[in-house]
Amino acid sequence: MKKLIVFIVVFYVVNIANAQWQQTSMNNYSVRSLALHDSCLFAGTFAGIYRSLNNGTSWIPANNGLAYTDINTLSIKDSNIIAGAIRGVHLSTNNGSNWVDKTTGIDNDFIYASAFKDSNIFIASDAIYLSTDFGNTWVNKSIGQPTSCSMTSFTINGNNIFAGDYYNGVFLSQNNGNSWIHLNLGITSCYGVNALASVGNKIFAATVTNGVYLSVNNGSTWSAISNGLPTSYLAQTFAIYDNIIYLGTMGRGVFMSKDFGSNWTDINFGLSNLEIMSLAVNKDFLFAGTNNTGVWRRSLIEILDVKDGNFNQIINIYPNPVKDKLNIDLQDLKNLKNASLSIYDIQGKLLLNQYITQAKTEINIQYFTKGVYIVKVYTGNNVIVDKFIKE
């Protein structure tokens, strides 16, 4: 019996180690920008752009036609990608296979930020520029901006274009960049903004020294949202997926909020480099671009491995660890109508999906390989998440 207990403990520890942050094979670059399109993950570094087709397991250079390789920003719409470098702008229309220089017409070619709004492209250098013809021509759109500006980020929310400035806070344009208004009410002390993000009517601003702010009225007023965040940190970047907000910081790692910033949770388990420069997220993984140690990833369902939802019902999984027959007991679940369950491996691969017709379900998992697995039970708009170990 003692040998069995030791085996289970060691096995559990090994598999939990596999469930934490994992460094990808790109492990020696500073990654200033990450961007996703379908199955393609792009990383912008000082040594060019790299592309992964397998969630970061392997990477290949994607620099054909790229005149300047020190990349600050990447933005994607469909198969079109804008890459902003320390010297110039490049466009790819074939998912990064080739690049064309689109810098002509921009006075200062040090590009800090970029964004697509429908077929329009916005970039920021010492001014904001707009192209309506995929970078063939650029028009200065800085009316209402300070004479000396340092734009760090954009977020597009319907017809509203928000721009964050490292020294001057947040600006809003509601007429495709023809004019801008300054919106800092509620952002205290230092107005420096590193990143912006939006979901629904909620606009998030990551500031240089004073944390994270939220506006629910198009930037007219802002409120600090810091519960669970460190007292001193530099908020650097956002990523949003399925209404969950991820925040990357320089020196304090990555945090997650499931309630639009009211509360934040540290999700740094296994992440040895806490200097986060960029984030990206898809249905399987959260990716973090770090300073000097490349791209890291963590399974999304493992991050979300908590009892979640708008109810208190409990999922009971037994035996756990399990060898062949897994019982999933939902006796406390009030309504099984349209309920279903899914089982994923720790890498996020879906292994089983089925409807639930009774409170107690038995599943044959004897052919599963040894490891940690995630169970998700869906009912209505709610989801319960739990894990089990196959031995």
Q: Which one-letter amino acid corresponds to residue 93?
A: T
d(CA 172, CA 177): 8
Per the listing, tokens 């912006």 go with 196
Residues of the chain with pLDDT under 50: 1-18, 306-312
CATH architecture of 23-300: 7 Propeller (2.130)
- Count CA atoms within 13 Å of residue 174 on its CB side: 5
Write the pLDDT tens digit of every residue in 136-188: 999 999 877 766 568 899 999 999 999 999 888 899 999 999 999 999 888 87
The Cα 105–Cα 218 span in angstroms is 31
pLDDT of residue 185: 86
Q: Whole-model pTM?
A: 0.78
Domain with CATH 2.60.40.10 in the chain: 316-390
The per-residue pLDDT for range 5-28, each reduced to its tens digit, is: 433 333 333 344 445 899 999 988
Q: Could you tell me where in the chain the CATH 2.130.10.10 domains are found? A: 23-300
Exposure string for 160-170, b = 16+ CB within 10 A, e = fewer? bbbbbbbebbb
The rounded distance, in Å, linking the Cα atoms of 12 and 26 is 28
Using CA atoms, how far residue 166 sits from 113, 152, 171, 268, in Å, is: 11, 6, 11, 26
Read off the amino acid at residue 263. Answer: N
What are 284's two structure tokens? 């399987």
52: exposed, middle or buried (Cβ count in 10 Å: 0-12, 13-18, 19+): buried
Contacting residues for 265 by C-beta, under 8 A, at least 6 apart: 228, 255, 256, 257, 258
Pick the closest to residue 258 from 223, 324, 303, 221 (CA basis). Answer: 303
CATH topology of domain 316-390: Immunoglobulin-like (2.60.40)
